[in-house]
């Protein structure tokens, strides 16, 4: 199984909305990917609960895929690309890791 973890630091304000509003919207968008992209086997999205920590990131996405091909198909899916469009508008930093999970 492939696990894909991405974390973002959001801009204080973007698209006319606050960081908090954009975090909530991003969470909804990312959770919606599971409905629209069959290759996603599991998805979890979290919003930072300790926003006063300056070094903390704001939103995390954890997705699981059965195979590397499923992961590649996810990255090419139009719903994923639409999520990226919003992320590029509201995020100032991104870090990620993709790795094999042995169950």
pLDDT at 55: 87
The whole domain housing 81 covers 2-96
Given a contact cutoff of 8 angstroms between Cβ atoms, the answer to whether 90 and 15 are in contact is yes
Given a contact cutoff of 8 angstroms between Cβ atoms, the answer to whether 95 and 59 are in contact is no
Query: Quick check: is 102 in a domain?
Result: no
Mind listing the pLDDT tens digit of every residue in the chain (103 residues)?
A: 999 999 999 999 999 999 999 999 999 999 999 999 999 999 999 999 987 788 899 999 999 999 999 999 999 999 999 999 999 999 999 999 999 998 7
Query: Quick check: is 28 in a domain?
Result: yes
Question: Number of folded domains in the chain?
Answer: 1
As a whole number of angstroms, the distance between CA 20 and CA 67 comes to 34
Question: Tens of pLDDT along 82-97?
Answer: 999 999 999 999 999 9
pTM: 0.93
Query: Quick check: is 27 in a domain?
Result: yes
Query: Quick check: is 103 in a domain?
Result: no
CATH number for position 75: 3.30.70.100
Beta-carbon-side half-sphere exposure of residue 55 (alpha carbons within 13 Å): 0
Show the DSSP H helices in the chain as ranges.
Answer: 19-36, 68-76, 78-90
Query: Quick check: is 54 in a domain?
Result: yes
């Amino acid at each position: 199984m492939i696990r894909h973890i991405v974390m973002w630091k959001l801009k204080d304000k973007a698209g006319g909305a606050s960081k908090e509003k954009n975090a909530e919207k991003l969470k909804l968008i990312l959770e919606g990917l599971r409905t629209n992209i069959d290759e996603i086997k599991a998805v979890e999205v979290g919003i930072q609960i300790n926003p006063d920590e300056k070094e903390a990131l704001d939103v995390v996405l954890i997705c699981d895929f059965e195979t590397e091909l499923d992961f590649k198909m996810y990255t090419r899916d139009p719903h994923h690309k639409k999520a990226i469009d919003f992320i590029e508008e509201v995020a100032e930093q991104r870090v990620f890791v993709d790795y094999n999970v042995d169950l």
